[in-house]
A = this chain, B = another copy of it.
Amino acid sequence: MGSRKGNGVVAQSGGPTAVINNSLCGVIQEWLNNNFTGMLLGALHGIRGVLENDFIDLSRQRRDIIEGLRVTPGSALGSCRYKLREEDYRKLLRIFKEKDIRYFFYIGGNDSMDTANRVNQLALEENYEMTVVGIPKTIDNDLPCTDHCPGYGSAAKFLAATVLETGIDLKGVLNNNRIKLMEVMGRNAGWLAAATALARRAEEDAPHLIYLPEVPFDREQFVRDVQKVYQKLGYVYIVVSEGIVDESGRYIVSASGRDSFGHCELGGLAGYLKELIEGRVESKVRCNVLGTAQRAAMHFASRADADEAYMAGVEAVRLAIRGRSGLMVTFIRGDQGEYLCLPSSVELGSVANVEKKVPREWINVEHNFVTEDFINYAKPLIQGEITIPTQDGLPYYQELERFPGALSAASN
C-alpha cells in the first residue's frame, strides 16, 4: 500500500450534479501531480464501464479539457443506475486484477457507497491489494457522516434563486393565478426544499410555506395553511418536496413504478396538490417543476460547492496515497467564527444505505417552514458565483476525448 503502483479507475454514478465533474477534475489533477506509475482510467457510465471494459484514458486528456471540467455540469464520464448482482461483484474484481487496477475512486451517492464498500470487502477477502475510496455526490444532501454533500450547495442556490425570481414575478401580477407551487427533488430528505427558505428576506417574500418528507403531511392542514397566507397577502408561494408522506409514511402521490433499486418513482404531486387547493381558495394554482434543471444548472452554481467538490476529489487521491482504503471523503465544518470546510473521511460501511434527514428541530412546530438554525447551516453552502465560458450567448461546456486506444492499452 502507498506504493503508487498499478492503475487507477475513477467512475461517476447516479444522478449528476452541477459540480460532479469538479470531483472528477480533482481526482485527475491530483493523480497527475503525484508519482503514480500506472494509468488513470475513466470508466464510462459508472460501474457498467468497468463490467463492460469500457474505459477512456484520462492521463492523455488535454490539460485545458481537464480544467474545463470545473465549469461543466452533468457526468463527463457518464453514469448509470444499475444494481449489481452477486456475480457482477466477482466479475468486477476479476477485471480489476486483470488490468492491475489498484485504485478505485467512486463518485456517487448512497447506493454507490454500498457498491464501493462491497468491492473493498471482496478485495480484502481475496487478498487483492487495492485501495477503494468513495467521493460523495448528491444534490439531495442525504449522505450521513458528513456536514454536507458536494452538489447540494449548487442545487440549493439555483432553487433559491428561482424561488426568489419567480416570487417577485408572483408578487407583482394581479390576476387569478396567485398561488404558486414548486415541486422540488429529494426522495426521502427535504434538504433541497428547505434550502428555498434562503430566498426569503421579509414576511411577504417567497417562499411562504415549505413541506418536507421528514414530518407527516396533513392535507387539511395544508389547505388551511394556504388559505391563511392567501388571506393575509393575496398570494402564496408553496414549496413541496417530491417525497412528502402521510401519517403512515406512504408517499402522498403513490408510485407509478419503482426504479432498479426498489425506490419509488414519484410524479404528478404538483398536480395533485393543485387540485387539493383549487376550489378551497379563490385563486388558481400554477406549478413550476424544474426537474433535472435543479441538478444541471452550472450557470448559477455555488462557488463554495464547486471548490469543495474539487477538494473532495483531491482528498480521495491523498487518502489513496496514504494507503487508506474503504473510506468515503467527508466534510467537517469548523466550529468557530467564519465558515470553514475541512476534508475528513469515514468507513464506507457506515455510509452505505443510510439516509441523513433534516433534523426535526430545524423544522418549525407548524411543520410548514424551517428554523433559523437551518438557515445558518445552509447559507455558507451557496456562497459565490462561477463565471461559465459562453459561446454565442450560451454556456460552452467541455467533453472528454474518447481516445479509442485507451481501451486496448488498458486491457493488458
Contact = CB atoms under 8 A, between A and B. Distances in A.
A292 B175 contact: no
A82 to B, nearest CB: 7
Interface in A360-412: 379, 382-385, 390, 392-395, 397
A266 to B, nearest CB: 11
A139 B155 CA distance: 26
A16 B174 CA distance: 11
Given A173-B81, A271-B268, A392-B379, A299 B48 contact: no
Contact of A299 (B170, B296, B300): B300
Interface stretch (A56-64, A93-101, A160-168, A306-314): A160-168
A291 B289 contact: yes
Interface string A253-291: 000010110000101100100000000000010111111
A5 interface: no
Contact of A162 (B173, B286, B297, B397): B297
B383 A393 contact: yes
Contacts of A75: 169, 172-173
Interface on chain A toward B: helix, strand, loop, or mixed SS? mixed
* Category for how many chain A residues contact B: 35 or more
A300 B161 CA distance: 11
Given A160-B394, A383-B392, A394-B161, A175 B293 contact: no
Nearest to A77: B172
Contacts of A180: 291-292
Contact of A394 (B176, B265, B382): B382
Contact of A300 (B80, B81, B300, B397): B300
Given A299-B161, A384-B393, A79 B291 contact: no
A173 B257 contact: no
A81 B283 CA distance: 13
B292 A290 contact: no
Given A176-B259, A383-B392, A292 B297 contact: no
B292 A286 contact: yes
A7 to B, nearest CB: 23
Contacts of A161: 299, 394-395
Contact of A293 (B160, B290, B385): B290
A295 B165 CA distance: 9
B157 A394 contact: yes
A199 interface: yes
A268 B284 CA distance: 14
Interface in A53-91: 72-82
A324 interface: no
Contact of A165 (B166, B175, B176, B395): B395
B292 A81 contact: no
Interface of A: 12, 14-16, 45-46, 48, 72-82, 157, 160-162, 164-166, 168-176, 180, 198-199, 257, 259-260, 265, 267-268, 271, 284, 286-293, 295-300, 302, 304, 379, 382-385, 390, 392-395, 397
24 contacts: A45-B172, A74-B168, A79-B173, A80-B173, A81-B176, A161-B299, A162-B297, A164-B394, A165-B298, A165-B395, A166-B293, A168-B296, A169-B295, A169-B296, A175-B260, A176-B260, A180-B292, A198-B393, A198-B394, A268-B271, A288-B292, A382-B392, A383-B393, A384-B393
